[in-house]
Structure 1
Amino acid sequence: MSNDILFKPLKLGALNLPNRIVMPALTRMRAGPGGVPNALNAEYYGQRASAGLNITEATAISVQGHGYPQMPGIHSSEQIEGWRLVTSAVHAQGGRFVLQIVHHGRWSHSSYNPDGSLPVAPSAITPPGNAYTITSEQVPYETPRALETSELPSIVADFRQAAKNARAAGFDAVEIHGANGFLLDQFLQDGSNKREDAYGGNIENRTRLLLEVVDGIADDIGRDRVGVRLSPHGNLGGLSDSDTVPHFGYVISELSKRDLAYLHLIEPRASSAGIADDASIDSADNATLFRHLYHGPVITAGGYTPEMGVVAVERGLADAVAFGRMFIANPDLPERIRAGMPLNAFDRSTSYGGGAHGYTDYPALRATTASAA
């Protein structure tokens, strides 16, 4: 099967991509103290700059928005300076770099807040499972405090400031994280949103916070530098929705009206507990169900092989394809795909936290070839 279609240029808003192979947000838990990115992060992202688009790991918009240890932020001057080091490394290699911005909502813990206050959410519903404290202990999730209606403009303001900080740090665009069980997703899904104000109840109300964030950021940095990530049918963090297709159909239709840089859809096989080993293009139902509702560029993610990615683009299900674990293990993934070369195996045990091992020491094809010679 020819993979030439993955190497056709693509325009995403203000960004011109030389290929359609995307590195999505991947949690790695290697920021420095205070959520400040460092030289190791710069090396990691710089190694992967040959992606058509590089998207950072989820990055907190505020102190309250953090949710796991060694998570980067974009709300302090030190964090902005740290990210400048990383964006410079990616741009020096000719890459395009997007910051994914997030608020963890109920997926956080009181230890991240200096005053020890509870995490916040649309409703006071305890998520299942365990949280990681700021010192990496695993403890049961706390019951979050429901946000007051009067607090929501501050959440929007934090997202907007994070986007402006991203541009100051040298990022080409931002991706608003409305997926994977985090705060904006918690508002979207009626299993986690039981509010009775203008941000709860029907889908129009539950979408309000996301759209206020999108519209505010678009006004600040330009809609052609804004992407949104969604995970219809995803159940991470115990989320659920009573009528997913019409509800997310409304969300996606509203986003389509805004002429954004792109929509990033995660397939259910990757946005629940894990990725099925036998994942195939036929199970990529989010792309099939929702692509026709969004009239701009779409990135699809979720357990794709290069062959599946080719089929997705050829069928018109997406314009670009994100490869997560493959990019962790293969810093030169586009080159390997183009040449049909073997891929390094992914080591899950080194995914979260630690240092260079399992982060910047996966061999590149040229280094491997040179050492073999």
Structure 2
Amino acid sequence: MVQRVTVAGVGMVPFATPSRSEPYDVLADGAVRAALADAGVELGAVQQAYAGYVYGDSTSGQNALYRVGMTGLPVVNVNNNCSTGSSALFLARQAIASGAADCVLAFGFEQMQRGALKEHWDDRPSAFGRFETALGDAGNPEVPLAPRYFGAAGTAYVDRYGMDPAVFARISVKARKHAVGNPYAVFRDQVTVEDVLASPHITGPLTRLQCCPPTCGAAAAVLVSEEYARRHGLRTDVAVKAQAMTTDTASSFEGDPMRLVGYDMSKAAAQQVYEAAGVAPEDVRVVELHDCFTTNELLSYEALGLTPEGTAEKFVSDGDNTYGGRVVTNPSGGLLSKGHPLGATGLAQCAELTWQLRGDAGPRQVDDVSIALQHNIGLGGAAVVTLYEKVSG
């Protein structure tokens, strides 16, 4: 029998730029303590822990958790690039659903360095060798890896559908508007389309204000079985209704930059979730999706089924991606405003959507939320899509 998985508690710390951040273990300590307090459980009640981070030595998860306590529980370290936090959440959810555990902690953290993401091991095969071959001449080789891929994907979309590239800039403007009400976001200053387009050009349609910056941070979630929650008097008002993880298929490497950055992975994971949950994309009123670049947010609208393929320009122009429209995308401000501490991002999305379903999101609150969708991808690759539901009674 599959156990119903409840989100008993969530927590995070304000994200910060690398020059202003605490070390990773301090960040994780703050997020884990916040999640435990929110759940109303002690660390001693946790039976398993999954620690997500990308940049750090092995067993950094243990080192971070030891600040909270040393209870002897098993700690598994997780690295799945930018989807690391959601991958930790995926494993924690599986442990509960399978009946292997009743109370599991998923936490993610990252102490980022300044500058663009880069590979650190040059004495062995690159995890991105296939990606480089598939991209071919589509990207500027002088540009760092991630913007090169996502810039090429944006160019491919513009060419395919004849979209005005300035539409991408409107996504940055929307992100900053949403971030105003989020004390955890780093970048809350308002910008205009003109500001975004005038910022330094990076590659393709991307300018600097259309790229998420590296930041440091941590977030955590305590998952429990519904039976455990009721037995211990924990809250049961938010549950994981469905979740799926996918990886690349051959289509990712067939020469389409849009597929190269995870379009097919995201679409497949979303379809699995909708089918398992018995809901349609039209039912979703709020989503936290992976906006590492404005180009990927726009692609994700279509991959997740929020708008039909080729219609994202109208979706943005009509304001259907924000308050008053069809679905509020990234009420937190997203990665474009919070920054992207890789291991923390997926669990920060979980925290935001849990607050939305509880009605605790303050000025960011979306009206009439009963289900919430989360989308987190990592090149190389993994896509995790999670659907949460509000539970009454």
* Fold match (TM-score > 0.5): no
TM score, norm. by length of structure 1? 0.30
TM score, norm. by length of structure 2? 0.29
